[in-house]
């Protein structure tokens, strides 16, 4: 769901929303219900959870950060969907201390695997939270995109370090614990028993294009959004995307 008031922000999320919108439509038809049960593990302040609730779905957000949960509560209230959004303090490893297994039509795990101790366990837990016919939406930092971004910023040693490091870290100051290739993310999902239904590259160009080129030219943001949407589908661009999105269902 792109936000017309925040066009630059929509550049970062448009591809994911496009994929999610289709997945939601399919899941609503399959479930025979308009309101789905959604779990957003590591959902933070509700960047995805609140728009999902605005579509009428019931969303449970699990996050270890009290500040994020406070911001979530405020964001949900401002959007008029406080009754559809539930924030719970917890984490991806101890997920079933706070939510039930087999309870959700859609589980989101967006921007979390980069931080957790054991990504495989986090994905297994996300899958175990799904109803038998549920859908998993996984979004995580891409390795190649980080290498390209460090190199284009002139940080050549860091770019080479990220390339050589098994976790894809560019150095001691790197805020992320790890990054992934499309194959690694797909492997985590299939190892957890799901079938991958789509892989998309997210932010292939958006983070690399100087802001002045996007802001100066009328229509440039729309054209860039269309380019991102087209490149997201092409496997060759997955290896240079800032993020990778994997959609998966039970096979
Ligand atoms: C980059 S933010 C992403 C937030 C949200 N999913 C989004 O896409 O906007 C990462 C989130 O992961 C949460 N997080 C960190 N470690 C976690 C863990 N072990 N289990 C679950 N969430 C975790 C953080 O508190 C933070 O809210």
Supply the range of the domain harboring residue 85.
7-141+180-250
User: Is the C-beta atom of 91 inside 6 A of ligand 1?
Assistant: yes
Indicate if 126 and 170 belong to the same structural domain: no
Indicate if 156 and 192 belong to the same structural domain: no
CATH number assigned to the domain comprising residue 11: 3.40.50.150
If one residue of 10, 16, 42 were mutated to test the ligand 1 pocket, choosing by the most ligand atoms within 8 A of its CB, it would be 42
Q: Are strands 194-202 and 243-250 parallel, antiparallel or unpaired?
A: antiparallel
- pLDDT at residue 3 above 60? no
5 pLDDT tier (thresholds 50, 70, 90): very low
Residue 35 domain flag: yes
If one residue of 9, 13, 63 were mutated to test the ligand 1 pocket, choosing by the most ligand atoms within 8 A of its CB, it would be 63
Nearest CA to ligand 1 atom 11: 42
- pLDDT at residue 13 above 80? yes
User: Is the C-beta atom of 250 inside 6 A of ligand 1?
Assistant: no
- Residue 16's pLDDT is what? 96
User: Is the C-beta atom of 116 inside 6 A of ligand 1?
Assistant: yes
- pLDDT tens figures, 65-92: 999 999 999 999 999 999 999 999 999 9
- pLDDT at residue 1 above 80? no
CB of 201 closer than 8 Å to CB of 241: yes
- Residue 10's pLDDT is what? 82
Q: Are strands 194-202 and 104-110 parallel, antiparallel or unpaired?
A: unpaired
- Residue 12's pLDDT is what? 85
Residue 1 domain flag: no
Lowest mean pLDDT among 46-55, 73-82, 136-145, 209-218: 209-218
Per-state percent for the chain, helix, strand, coil, to nearest 5: 45, 20, 35
- Residue 216's pLDDT is what? 81
- pLDDT tens figures, 169-222: 999 999 999 999 999 999 999 999 999 999 999 999 999 998 888 888 888 999
């Amino acid at each position: 769901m792109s936000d017309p008031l925040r066009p630059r922000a929509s550049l970062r999320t448009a591809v994911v929303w496009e994929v999610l919108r289709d997945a939601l439509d399919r899941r609503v038809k399959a479930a025979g219900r308009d309101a789905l049960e959604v779990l957003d593990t590591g959902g933070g302040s509700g960047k995805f959870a609140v728009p999902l609730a605005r579509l009428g779905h019931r969303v449970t957000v699990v996050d270890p950060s009290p500040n994020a949960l406070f911001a979530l509560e405020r964001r949900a209230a401002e959007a008029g969907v406080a009754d559809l959004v539930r924030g719970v303090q917890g984490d991806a490893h101890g997920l079933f201390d706070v939510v039930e297994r087999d309870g959700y039509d859609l589980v989101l795990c967006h921007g979390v695997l980069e931080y957790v101790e054991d990504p495989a366990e986090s994905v297994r837990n996300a899958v175990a939270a799904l109803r038998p016919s549920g859908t998993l939406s996984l979004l995580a930092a891409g390795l190649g995109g980080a290498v390209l971004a460090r190199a284009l910023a002139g940080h050549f040693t860091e770019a080479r370090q990220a390339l050589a490091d098994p976790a894809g870290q560019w150095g001691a100051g790197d805020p992320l614990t790890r990054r992934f290739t499309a194959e690694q993310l797909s492997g985590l999902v299939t190892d957890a028993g799901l079938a991958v239904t789509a892989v998309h590259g997210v932010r292939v160009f958006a983070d690399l294009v100087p802001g002045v080129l996007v802001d100066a030219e009328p229509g440039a943001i729309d054209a860039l959004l269309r380019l991102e949407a087209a490149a997201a589908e092409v496997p060759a661009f997955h290896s240079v995307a800032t993020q990778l999105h994997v959609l998966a269902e039970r096979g």
